[in-house]
């Protein structure tokens, strides 16, 4: 079947963003299902993966790198994997189309407004990246201009023109990043227009999202992911729940209606500020958020003999760490719900938890990233009696 099938995106061969464009969507899902079964099948039966009905243009966060090509023309697009060569992309098959239109217009405005793009070889120029975040449910749109210094000469007329072309833009931020390396955003930023954050709605709650806070990039699938996670938590109303690696508090806040209290812990200070604001935004008085390392926090909970009834954990790709898992086992919550974007580190961590007295009760893969080879899973664990 795949011989007669053509990748829907013309950039597939050069751009490394998608790995599975050459497979029809149902086949992609079968492949991810198989991968989840191979890596996690030893723990429990893997439920059928939850796919998308419309698996295109799902990304609410779009990043474009800017540079000059060999003919000194301004190009914007996606870095080829493992290199700093940019594949010019105007219409990405998985990115939000409005975000792509904003990026194209910004690019066309650079010469008229005398904005130079940064050239890594000579170290001259100014603009490096444009990052767009969009709330699919609210329509709000954030533009982050990433530049090597904060001097934006024609700022006012540039913004006037950009906002006239795209009235859907609700906030514009200037971010300074003068470092080499793969990190897009620097730590200094200034709000040029609007509030400096956008809002979105997920599972009936409203969330504020700042430029540097993590927010799931596929909101349609995120609702399925969170509903599954909350369902696996089987809350009755009286529980104390820990939301570890909580980001802007989305999982905890989604679960807060069915629990006594939610405690969230997260390393990124901006995300914690958003989480605290989000509890207030939703009128919730039973959610608390702290900044810090999840492992350190869990260790402290164990030392203080605090015993959450249920723990959600949703760590980055590297998975959790020994400190966290060891202390989690010491706290011995009744149920643990592990949300993971990397089945390999998930399998490693499940081995620790199953040795430590937990049994895997269910594994649900969710396709958060169609056309790429990433597999997301939610796992329900219960303490052995
Ligand atoms: N649960 C959230 C965020 C998941 S992404 C959501 O669904 O949106 C993983 C989060 O872990 C990121 O916000 C990242 O900043 C945070 N993080 C990374 N290392 C951490 C650590 N050691 N301790 C606590 N949080 C950490």
Assigned token pair, 309: 């009834």
In sign, the C-alpha dihedral spanning 116, 118, 122, 123 is positive
Same domain, 30 and 45: yes
Question: What residues are paired with 127 via a beta bridge?
Answer: 117, 147
Each residue's pLDDT tens digit, 129-154: 999 999 999 999 999 999 999 999 99
DSSP alpha helices (H): ranges in 166-320? 219-233, 250-255, 269-281, 294-303
Same domain, 196 and 244: no
Query: Any idea what the CATH number is for the domain that residue 268 is in?
Result: 3.40.50.150
Best probe residue, ligand 1, of 316, 346, 376 (max atoms within 8 Å of C-beta): 316
Residue-by-residue DSSP string for 78-127: EEPTTSS-EEE-SS-SSB-HHHHHHHHHHHHHHTTTTPPBPBTTTTB-SE
Q: Tell me if 104 is assigned to some domain.
A: yes
Closest ligand 1 atom, residue 226 Cα: 7
Task: Say how many Å lie between the CA of residue 247 and the centre of ligand 1.
Answer: 5
Alpha carbon nearest to ligand 1 atom 6, residue: 247
* Residue 380 confidence class, pLDDT cut points 50, 70, 90: very high
| pLDDT above 70 coverage of the chain, percent | 99
Task: Say how many Å lie between the CA of residue 165 and the centre of ligand 1.
Answer: 35
Nearest to 214 by CA among 171, 261, 263, 250: 250
Question: What residues are paired with 95 via a beta bridge?
Answer: 59
Task: Say how many Å lie between the CA of residue 316 and the centre of ligand 1.
Answer: 6
Same domain, 174 and 70: yes
Best probe residue, ligand 1, of 208, 247, 269, 278 (max atoms within 8 Å of C-beta): 247
353 in Cβ contact with 329 (< 8 Å): yes
Q: Tell me if 7 is assigned to some domain.
A: no
Same domain, 145 and 45: no
Instruction: Look at residue 314 in the predicted model and tell me its pLDDT.
Output: 98
Instruction: Look at residue 340 in the predicted model and tell me its pLDDT.
Output: 98
Same domain, 290 and 316: yes
Same domain, 187 and 288: no
Q: What is the CA radius of gyration of the chain?
A: 22
Alpha carbon nearest to ligand 1 atom 21, residue: 293
For the range 231-237, what are the long-range contacts, defined as Cβ-Cβ under 8 Å and sequence gap of 24 or more? 232/335, 232/337, 232/361, 232/362, 232/364, 232/378, 232/379, 232/380, 233/258, 233/310, 233/312, 233/335, 233/337, 234/335, 235/259, 235/310
Q: Judge if the beta carbon of residue 245 lies within 6 A of ligand 1.
A: yes
Each residue's pLDDT tens digit, 322-346: 999 999 999 999 999 999 999 999 9
Same domain, 44 and 137: no
Range of the domain at 260: 25-54+218-383
Query: Any idea what the CATH number is for the domain that residue 187 is in?
Result: 2.40.50.1070
Alpha carbon nearest to ligand 1 atom 1, residue: 246
Q: What is the mean pLDDT of residues 243-252?
A: 98
Q: Tell me if 211 is assigned to some domain.
A: no
Each residue's pLDDT tens digit, 37-81: 999 999 999 999 999 999 999 999 999 999 999 898 999 999 988
Same domain, 272 and 168: no
Q: Judge if the beta carbon of residue 207 lies within 6 A of ligand 1.
A: no
Identify the domain boundary among 202, 228, 245.
Answer: 202
Q: Judge if the beta carbon of residue 234 lies within 6 A of ligand 1.
A: no
Residue-by-residue DSSP string for 136-162: TTT--EEEEEEESSS--TTHHHHHHHH
Task: Say how many Å lie between the CA of residue 295 and the centre of ligand 1.
Answer: 12
- Which pairing describes strands 335-340 and 310-313: parallel, antiparallel, or unpaired? parallel
Each residue's pLDDT tens digit, 17-40: 999 999 999 999 999 999 999 999
- Which pairing describes strands 188-193 and 169-176: parallel, antiparallel, or unpaired? antiparallel
Q: Judge if the beta carbon of residue 253 lies within 6 A of ligand 1.
A: no
Identify the domain boundary among 159, 176, 202.
Answer: 202
Active site residue 341: yes
- Which pairing describes strands 335-340 and 127-134: parallel, antiparallel, or unpaired? unpaired
127 in Cβ contact with 185 (< 8 Å): no
Q: Tell me if 336 is assigned to some domain.
A: yes
Q: Tell me if 10 is assigned to some domain.
A: no
| pLDDT above 90 coverage of the chain, percent | 93
Same domain, 79 and 147: yes
User: Catalytic: which of 203, 246, 341, 377?
Assistant: 341
- Which pairing describes strands 335-340 and 376-383: parallel, antiparallel, or unpaired? antiparallel
Same domain, 255 and 345: yes
Question: What residues are paired with 290 via a beta bridge?
Answer: 265
Q: Tell me if 83 is assigned to some domain.
A: yes
Task: Say how many Å lie between the CA of residue 268 and the centre of ligand 1.
Answer: 7
Instruction: Look at residue 3 in the predicted model and tell me its pLDDT.
Output: 61
Task: Say how many Å lie between the CA of residue 273 and the centre of ligand 1.
Answer: 14
Same domain, 198 and 276: no
Identify the domain boundary among 202, 229, 251.
Answer: 202
Q: Tell me if 14 is assigned to some domain.
A: no
Q: What is the mean pLDDT of residues 219-229?
A: 98
Each residue's pLDDT tens digit, 187-202: 999 999 999 999 999 9
Domains of the chain: total = 2
Residue 193 CA to its chain's centroid (Å):
24
Rounded Cα gap, residues 324 and 239, in angstroms: 20
Q: Tell me if 49 is assigned to some domain.
A: yes
Same domain, 139 and 237: no
Q: What is the mean pLDDT of residues 271-285?
A: 98
């Amino acid at each position: 079947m795949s011989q007669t099938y053509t990748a829907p995106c013309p950039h597939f061969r050069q751009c490394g963003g998608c790995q599975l464009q050459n497979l029809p969507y149902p086949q992609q899902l079968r492949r991810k299902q198989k991968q989840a079964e191979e890596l996690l099948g030893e723990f429990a039966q893997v439920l059928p993966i939850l796919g998308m009905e419309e698996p295109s243009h799902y990304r609410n966060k779009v990043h474009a790198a800017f540079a000059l090509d060999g003919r000194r023309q301004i190009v914007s697009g996606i870095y080829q994997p493992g290199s700093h060569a940019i594949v010019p992309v105007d219409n990405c098959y998985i990115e939000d189309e409005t975000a792509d239109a904003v990026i194209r217009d910004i690019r066309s405005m650079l010469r008229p407004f005398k904005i130079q793009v940064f050239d890594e070889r000579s170290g001259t120029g100014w603009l490096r990246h444009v990052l767009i975040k969009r709330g699919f449910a609210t329509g709000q749109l954030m533009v982050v201009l990433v530049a090597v210094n904060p001097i934006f000469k024609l700022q006012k007329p540039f913004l006037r023109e950009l906002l006239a072309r795209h009235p859907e833009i609700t906030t514009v931020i200037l971010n300074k990043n003068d470092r080499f390396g793969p990190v897009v955003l620097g730590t200094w930023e200034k709000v040029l227009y609007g509030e400096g954050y956008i809002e979105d709605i997920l599972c009936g709650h409203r969330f504020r999202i700042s430029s540097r806070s993590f927010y799931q990039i596929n909101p349609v699938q995120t609702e399925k992911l969170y509903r599954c996670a909350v369902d696996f938590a089987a809350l009755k109303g009286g529980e104390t729940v820990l939301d570890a690696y909580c980001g802007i508090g989305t999982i905890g806040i989604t679960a807060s209606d069915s629990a006594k209290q939610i405690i969230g812990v997260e390393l990124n200070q901006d995300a914690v500020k958003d989480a605290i604001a989000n509890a207030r935004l939703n009128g919730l008085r039973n959610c608390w958020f702290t900044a810090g390392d999840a492992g350190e926090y869990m260790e402290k909970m164990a030392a203080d003999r605090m015993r959450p009834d249920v723990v959600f954990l949703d760590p980055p790709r590297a998975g959790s760490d020994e400190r966290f898992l060891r202390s989690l086992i010491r706290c011995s919550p009744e149920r643990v719900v592990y949300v993971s974007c990397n089945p390999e580190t998930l399998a490693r961590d499940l081995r620790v938890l199953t040795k430590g007295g937990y049994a895997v009760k269910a594994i649900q893969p969710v396709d958060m990233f169609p056309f790429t080879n990433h597999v997301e899973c939610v796992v329900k664990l219960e303490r052995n009696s």
